[in-house]
Structure 1
Amino acid sequence: MTARSIKLFFARWKYLMFACCITYLLVIYAPISKSEQKDWKEGEIELSNDHELDVPILQKEELKPQQRPSFEENVPKKKTFNFNPVGKEPFDVEEVLTSSDIKLEERMTATVIPGQKRLILSWNAGHSQDNLQGCPDWNCEFTQVRARAPDADAVLIAHMDNDFVPKPNQYVVYFSQESPANSGIQIPRPDYINMTLGFRHDTPAGSPYGYTVKLGAKSRKTGQVVDANLVNGKAKGAAWFVSHCQTNSKREDFVKKLQKHLQIDIYGGCGPMKCARGDSKCDTMLDTDYHFYVTFENSICEDYVTEKLWKSGYQNTIIPLVLKRKLVEPFVPPNSFIAIDDFKSVKEMGDYLNYLMNNKTAYMEYFEWRHDYKVVFLDGSHHDVLERPWGFCQVCRMAWTEPRQKVLIPNWDAYWRQTCEKDGTLVDSIPLD
């Protein structure tokens, strides 16, 4: 636009522009009527209240760093228990992995009356006072003197004996660590037994061969949890230590099929290779030579997980192979094992295991659980705080409970005999290819 055009524009519209300016000033500075002031203030108060309800406005002093709310402080900290086993490094435990609804805090506490004792009698199940060394402060006495049966708070039996007659308010505890497929007891009535002391978790006196704990914050590990050089030095497929050759689960048939796709060295009475029981070289070999360890059980029964898994499978730097995921998953660390029923065929499983052998990074992911979890193996010969949440100590705890807790297995056959798969059900269902 030229200077001449601008000059003509202002000459033509100058009066209109002047009028607009005057009107604007009057609107801005003219006094507001009382009714308008009232309406405006009411609207302001209403708006202010809305903000106070929905969006709290912090004052300046509330923004000081030391006064800011701490989310960590608001999260309740879980109670932990310090385990200080004999000859081993102590650690804090936040929880125990189990299918039981009995919490760790309840397991670790007994209401003991000073100056009194509770009596546990082993009628024909063996054991001794040593089995209570995990809870000596709970004042329970262990005896095998049958004459004291009337005074016993709990009686352990391994098989039926008609000479034993339970007393009212007395716990009858069946002891067995064998699979129901290979053991049992004939009882006079279905509700004769109150609880079991063995591998089952769904009983107050459960006593597995091992267990997993979630570590307390102070005991969790950072950084590298497995020796990369050790893993990189592994060259062999799987190892299997076995002496029971013909089984209900037909595990031997599956291993024979898997050997077509993976190297599996069989040690013991069922294979050509030898490694003496108790020889430390056997454990070292699992760490240095093999990628996988076969922990297949002789039968597939509820909660039936033995020392094969807890000892060799988790006390060594090796990935355990199990028969059925549902059987072990509630009790072991996450992403720590490989189950055969995860695969559509034997070949698919073999291909995956070979992939892990050739991909050490993927292989080492199976040990990440060591940051937050610890697996405890109970060898049955060392008795200390590691046994406190289980077995004999829990029978002792129950004996102190007042009023006496009512515990009963109403149908023994359903609880024990009917919890195993028919022979070979799983193995026969998995095709070769």
Structure 2
Amino acid sequence: MSCSAYRWTSLRPFLFGSLVVLCFIGLFITYRSDIKYPNYCPAFLCADKAQTQKIQTAAVDAENEIIVLFWLWPFDIKYELHCNITRCHLTYDKTLYQKAHGVMFHHWEIHGNLDNFPKMPRPSFQKWLWFNMEPPSKLRQIPGVNNIFNLTCNYRRDSNIQVPYGYLLPVTSEDESFKLPAKDKLVCWIVTNWSEQLKRVQYYNELKKYIKIHVYGKAFGQRISIEEYPKILSSCKFYLSFENSIYEDYITEKFYKPLIMGTVPITLGPPKQTYEEYAPADSFIHVDDFSSPQKLAERLLYLDQNNTEYMQFFNWRSMYKAQESEFVSEQACQTCKYLQDHKEYQAVNDLISWYWG
């Protein structure tokens, strides 16, 4: 055997082994390029993890739009989403999860074991929002919701993103001047839920002894249509804006609808001072201002005979108009605005104590 032949024969195992190793590395790199590593990045393949996260966050911040994703449809209804705030993209499209800056979870649809939450890890720039407009008495407590959310979106003033059921806006030159609707009833009440244990039912049962109250709704066996509702409400001088649950800041459409339709709300719910955070003190009557339902009835009967004093309840209409919040779009829009202004890390560590405590 020649010297060159001997050398080739002796090198063949080494070259063959090297070729196998190179093939393996090539296959591994090709395979790895198709794998997503949301939380794990081997040191020999990736740069420093903290540096990588900084790069990812910077890329997200540079995007043109803030994406707000509804992970769960509120009450299983796919509401129409729209927002007049620039750089806001509202969506139900779960394929945008990895790009979404905020993901909203409506409490009513959350499973007790959280099995309808995303299975993918949360991107470092993304915030999860607990979203709910119902009072604590109507919601079940889910222990798993503690230490999982970054923000709250709720009617309460101490929520990260507060969205009340309605609000007052300044009157513009385009708005028509206020005209009081014709009135042929003194006091009205439209109600669906009825329970003798509710404070509002107890108050009504006493008030009706001293004044006639026109009642409508399922609770009284007289259902009304959507078309009938505004006609009835606007035809009454006063409306019983009684909340079925009395909790901090819980002021619902029962207060705002009469304001919109030219009727004076009689409120039973949070303290009067809370209502005054949302509307002028002379735009409504609060039951706490009277020592008894009888005294309230006497005041209403007096106002029925004194139109000048009654009309003072509408002085605010020269400056403001009332408007209801648009459910879902309003919450998503305000969330988007908040995410535009707040990039810092935030967490809700004890949601249950905050809302149900």
Structure 1 length as normaliser, TM-score?
0.59
The residue number in structure 1 matching 2:308 is 361
Q: CA deviation at 1:211?
A: 1.0
User: What whole-Å deviation, never above 9, does each CA across 1:81-138 have from its counterpart, x for those lacking one?
Assistant: xxxxxxxxxxxxxxxxxxxxxxxxxxxxxxx978623322222234769423333x31
Alignment of 1:119 with 2:75, yes or no, is no
Contact 1:286 1:318 in 2 (8 A): yes
Q: How does 1:139-154 map to 2 (within 5 A)?
A: 139-145=88-94, 148-154=96-102
Whole-angstrom CA distance in 2 between matches of 1:317 and 1:138: 36
- In the aligned structure 2, how far is the partner of 1:373 from the partner of 1:399? 29
Q: How does 1:60-99 map to 2 (within 5 A)?
A: none
SS at match of 1:132: coil
Which one of 199, 212, 226 corresponds to residue 168 of structure 2? 212
SS at structure 2 position matched to 1:270: helix
Give aligned-pair identity as a percent.
24
In structure 2, which of residues 268, 271, 275 is the aligned counterpart of residue 323 of structure 1? 268
Aligned with 2:190 (options 234, 241, 260): 241
* Structure 1 match to 2:291: 344
Partner of 1:77: none
Q: Within 5 Å, which residues of 2 pair with 1:32-431?
A: 116-126=64-74, 130-135=80-85, 137-145=86-94, 148-158=96-106, 159-160=110-111, 161-162=114-115, 163-164=117-118, 166-188=122-144, 190-215=146-171, 225-227=178-180, 230=181, 234-246=183-195, 249-272=198-221, 274=222, 276-279=224-227, 281-288=228-235, 290-311=236-257, 313-324=258-269, 325-380=272-327, 387=330, 391-401=331-341, 404-418=343-357
Cα pair 1:304 1:327 within 8 Å, conserved: no
Task: Give deviations 1:228-270, integer Å, cap 9, x for gaps.
Answer: xx56xx3432111111012764211110110011111210111
- The offset of 1:410, in angstroms, is 4.0
338 and 407 in structure 1: CA distance in 2 versus 1, 3 angstrom threshold: farther
Q: Which amino acid aligns with 2:69?
A: L
Is the 1:398–1:405 Cα contact (8 Å) retained in structure 2? no
Relative to structure 1, the CA distance from residue 226 to residue 139 in structure 2 (aligned partners, 3 Å threshold; closer, same or farther) is closer
Specify every segment of 5 or more residues in structure 1 that has no aligned partner in the other structure, as ranges.
1-111, 419-433
Q: 1:331 to 1:150 in 2, by over 3 A?
A: same
Instruction: From the CA coordinates, give the structure whose radius of gyration is larger.
Output: 1
Secondary structure of the residue aligned to 1:121 is strand
Q: In the TM superposition, what is the alpha-carbon distance from 1:413 to its structure 2 partner?
A: 2.7
Instruction: Show CA shifts across 1:144-172 (max 9, x none).
Output: 41x54343211111225244354444221
2:260–2:321 Cα contact (<8 Å) kept = no
Mapped partners of 2:154, 2:92: distance in 1: 19
State the shift of 1:219 in Å: 7.4
Q: Which residue number corresponds to residue 11 of structure 1?
A: none
Asked if structure 1 preserves the Cα contact closer than 8 Å seen for 2:155 and 2:250, the reply is yes
RMSD over aligned Cα, in angstroms?
Answer: 3.0
Deviation at 1:143, TM superposition (A): 3.2
Q: Say which SS state the counterpart of residue 64 (structure 2) adopts.
A: coil
Contact 1:125 1:175 in 2 (8 A): no
Residue deviations 1:171-215 (CA, integer Å, cap 9, x gap): 211122211111144143644323333322333433332111345
Taking the aligned partners of 1:405 and 1:248, their CA distance within structure 2 comes to 45
**SS of 2:162 mapped into structure 1:** coil
Name the CA distance, whole Å, in 2 between partners of 1:248 and 1:193. Answer: 34
Q: How far has the Cα of 1:220 moved from its partner?
A: 9.2
